[in-house]
Structure 1
């Protein structure tokens, strides 16, 4: 039955002859490990195609759904995390394999006549692969893709004459949005793959026409050692290709693929491209201001022009310089090493920069937080940034950052120049330090409210006053006896000469009844200049319902109330 089916299929397709032609192709000089890279690149591209199609079954290319769909792949699709990991690490593997194939072709002299078009086809293939890599990492619509791709489109915008229009076309407008994502998606899954497989077809056809570039041996030796592609060369190709795929699977299982927090145009993020674009990123550091074009266009253009024109440069110089092949091979190899060196410098620079480490740690924490919130209540249909609403405390912190940090700086800022620090606000440590030194920079030191005297009494009295104020926030862990003692000290130490307590006192300073509770904080933010609070001494802006909607204020008060359980972030 199988033989009859095989015969029928061969009579209709002639596949036996095609297969025999491929397997029996003569390899001059015999099978060699150096010939394996072309096959490895082809296999890796097929892995990318298969995993890319599988990912497309679940991916949704819109700014409201992209991050959610990728997170769904990671957490809900069977083997989805492995699938993304293979696709992610496969992109890096292809870049490495193409670079090795380029070097092998270079040193073998396979770019020389009559194989100039083979080299040019390979060059175009390399550009398409880099284009696929660039367009791919925007698709999750996370922080890394969003900010790193903005760097790339900004570089495109520096091209003279056509640059601004090219940038506008890629972005789909003057800024990043839904059209940006759909255009990158179209490039990544339709246009560039079509170009990729077209160029591969041309490259393979040209390879078939000219054959393998033989080693530099006498013709008699080449003929004597020649052998068919099958079985030894096929075995070599299979071993290396399988090793490459195996390594990708290992990295995917061990590390997966990163998914940062959802893209947020209002946030601060450490924009870094993937490793294969780091050399260009590092190069731009040396050409700032008016010289930027040198790093973005001139030097990369000269390098790519030299790479593309290598066969013709060799042809023009070979008659005058017999050793030009070796000279060009060494020059290009050194150039590639220099490119790698630039990438290494970029990595080292980041590793030695504490600010970069802090931002990277914050980005990692935000990514973990986003994934946790998505698992709690899902990603809202209105977009992934709204998933932070799943946790009022998290949402409140985001509102604080966007609405309040222009005055209330991050507590670990050096030097601290803001209004009172809010991280750790209402905790025993915050209250204790405030009582001892209310004019410190992290409290009222940077404001006009500088007339409060520090408490200079014994520590046990300070602890009692601290506990009393802490109890006003409605905390469940109050030490009642100590708080009662502090209430007595409030009167005996003369605190009522400025502060009122439930309406009793001078009222020159804020009423402390319920201080630090959600109700007190809510009312204070709505109208800090009320007589109950700072009155005419007030410097804080009023946040009415138009400036701070009800749900946002509730989230802010939830976050502030939670700070009583957090450590201080200042000395």
Structure 2
């Protein structure tokens, strides 16, 4: 109703919610390691799955990722070093979400996460534009601290034009709940906002994991099955593996 005019929420086979004219990133798997790692790939970030159909398709983020890879073109050793660095940075960024389905993988890759955090603040120069914990400033690109967490997602959906996110370069995304003092003025109620955040994070259901222990977002069929409780009212996500009727 609110998101699918711009965002798809569809898996690799195209199953799910597919925007008729996608003009914003596909949010399927948002915050997972695999989603974040794709964002750091020069071809994928420029595709319609991420920023290809947005006003940012030729912006600083896409050009930075492309330039990083162009800088090691023809040097196999340097390219492998960059790939390893980006893998670790993706681990660190994804770990900020604290996704329950990815907890085992985050624990397994704790050393990579720690090193990736240092790379974000150091060699990869992410803090030239982004804030990362105590490094960098707000205002020019989204704050990466807590990226994909419940709080981060809720705040982003509530007001993408906040200084933490896209203060000066928001690409059409509305502020769905920017008036905390008068929620009746917002497009989303507090309950709807909470449900949307939990749904995006896969917390209505205990998802499967892949061979690396990384969380897999349930298929659309699995999601629809979670609604089949014999009740005419839609269930409300109350936590991982818990669904109750409203």
TM-score interval, smaller chain: 0.5 to 0.7
**More helix as a share of residues:** 1
**Residues 1:448 and 2:55 aligned together:** yes
Return the TM-score normalized by structure 1.
Answer: 0.28
Q: Deviations over 1:426-451 (max 9, x none)?
A: 11111111111322211111111232
Unaligned runs of 5+ in 1: 1-401
Unaligned runs of 5+ in 2: 70-78, 178-182, 204-213, 220-246
Q: 1:553 corresponds to which residue?
A: 193
Q: Deviations over 1:441-472 (max 9, x none)?
A: 11111111232121535322121011000111
For 1:541 and 1:467, locate their aligned partners in 2 and report how far apart those are by CA, in whole Å.
29
Aligned length: 168
For 2:218 and 2:129, locate their aligned partners in 1 and report how far apart those are by CA, in whole Å.
27
Q: 2:169 corresponds to which residue?
A: 537
Indicate how the Cα distance of structure 1 residues 567 and 556 shifts in structure 2: closer, same or farther if over 3 A, else same.
closer
Tell me by how many angstroms 1:496 deviates: 0.7
Indicate how the Cα distance of structure 1 residues 548 and 414 shifts in structure 2: closer, same or farther if over 3 A, else same.
closer
Task: Name the SS of the counterpart of 1:513 in structure 2.
Answer: coil
Task: Name the SS of the counterpart of 2:195 in structure 1.
Answer: helix
For 1:568 and 1:494, locate their aligned partners in 2 and report how far apart those are by CA, in whole Å.
34
Indicate how the Cα distance of structure 1 residues 518 and 414 shifts in structure 2: closer, same or farther if over 3 A, else same.
closer
**Residues 1:461 and 2:68 aligned together:** no
Q: 2:235 corresponds to which residue?
A: none
**Residues 1:430 and 2:61 aligned together:** no
For 2:5 and 2:50, locate their aligned partners in 1 and report how far apart those are by CA, in whole Å.
15
For 1:460 and 1:469, locate their aligned partners in 2 and report how far apart those are by CA, in whole Å.
14
Asked whether the equivalents of residues 418 and 442 of structure 1 are also in contact (C-alpha less than 8 Å), the reply is no
**Residues 1:409 and 2:8 aligned together:** yes
For 2:9 and 2:201, locate their aligned partners in 1 and report how far apart those are by CA, in whole Å.
17
Q: Deviations over 1:382-422 (max 9, x none)?
A: xxxxxxxxxxxxxxxxxxxx221111124324997331111
Indicate how the Cα distance of structure 1 residues 519 and 493 shifts in structure 2: closer, same or farther if over 3 A, else same.
same
Which of 19, 29, 46 is residue 439 of structure 1 equivalent to?
46
Asked whether the equivalents of residues 472 and 517 of structure 1 are also in contact (C-alpha less than 8 Å), the reply is yes
Indicate how the Cα distance of structure 1 residues 421 and 414 shifts in structure 2: closer, same or farther if over 3 A, else same.
closer
Q: 1:242 corresponds to which residue?
A: none
Q: 1:473 corresponds to which residue?
A: 97
Asked whether the equivalents of residues 423 and 568 of structure 1 are also in contact (C-alpha less than 8 Å), the reply is no
For 1:567 and 1:416, locate their aligned partners in 2 and report how far apart those are by CA, in whole Å.
23
Which of 105, 108, 127 is residue 496 of structure 1 equivalent to?
127
Which residues of 2 match residues 189-268 of structure 1 at below 5 A?
Answer: none
For 1:484 and 1:536, locate their aligned partners in 2 and report how far apart those are by CA, in whole Å.
31
Which residues of 2 match residues 56-455 of structure 1 at below 5 A?
Answer: 402-411=1-10, 412=14, 413=18, 417-437=22-42, 438-450=45-57, 451=59, 452=61, 453-454=64-65, 455=68
For 2:86 and 2:50, locate their aligned partners in 1 and report how far apart those are by CA, in whole Å.
17
Indicate how the Cα distance of structure 1 residues 558 and 521 shifts in structure 2: closer, same or farther if over 3 A, else same.
same
Task: Name the SS of the counterpart of 2:168 in structure 1.
Answer: helix
For 1:522 and 1:567, locate their aligned partners in 2 and report how far apart those are by CA, in whole Å.
19
Greater C-alpha Rg = 1
For 1:558 and 1:567, locate their aligned partners in 2 and report how far apart those are by CA, in whole Å.
12
Return the TM-score normalized by structure 2.
Answer: 0.62
For 1:518 and 1:414, locate their aligned partners in 2 and report how far apart those are by CA, in whole Å.
24
Tell me by how many angstroms 1:567 deviates: 5.1
Indicate how the Cα distance of structure 1 residues 531 and 418 shifts in structure 2: closer, same or farther if over 3 A, else same.
same
For 1:526 and 1:567, locate their aligned partners in 2 and report how far apart those are by CA, in whole Å.
23
Asked whether the equivalents of residues 529 and 535 of structure 1 are also in contact (C-alpha less than 8 Å), the reply is yes
RMSD: 2.3
For 2:153 and 2:27, locate their aligned partners in 1 and report how far apart those are by CA, in whole Å.
12
**Residues 1:527 and 2:159 aligned together:** yes
Indicate how the Cα distance of structure 1 residues 537 and 556 shifts in structure 2: closer, same or farther if over 3 A, else same.
same
Q: Deviations over 1:64-85 (max 9, x none)?
A: xxxxxxxxxxxxxxxxxxxxxx
Q: Deviations over 1:462-516 (max 9, x none)?
A: 2101100011112323121010110111121111111111353143111100000
For 1:498 and 1:568, locate their aligned partners in 2 and report how far apart those are by CA, in whole Å.
33
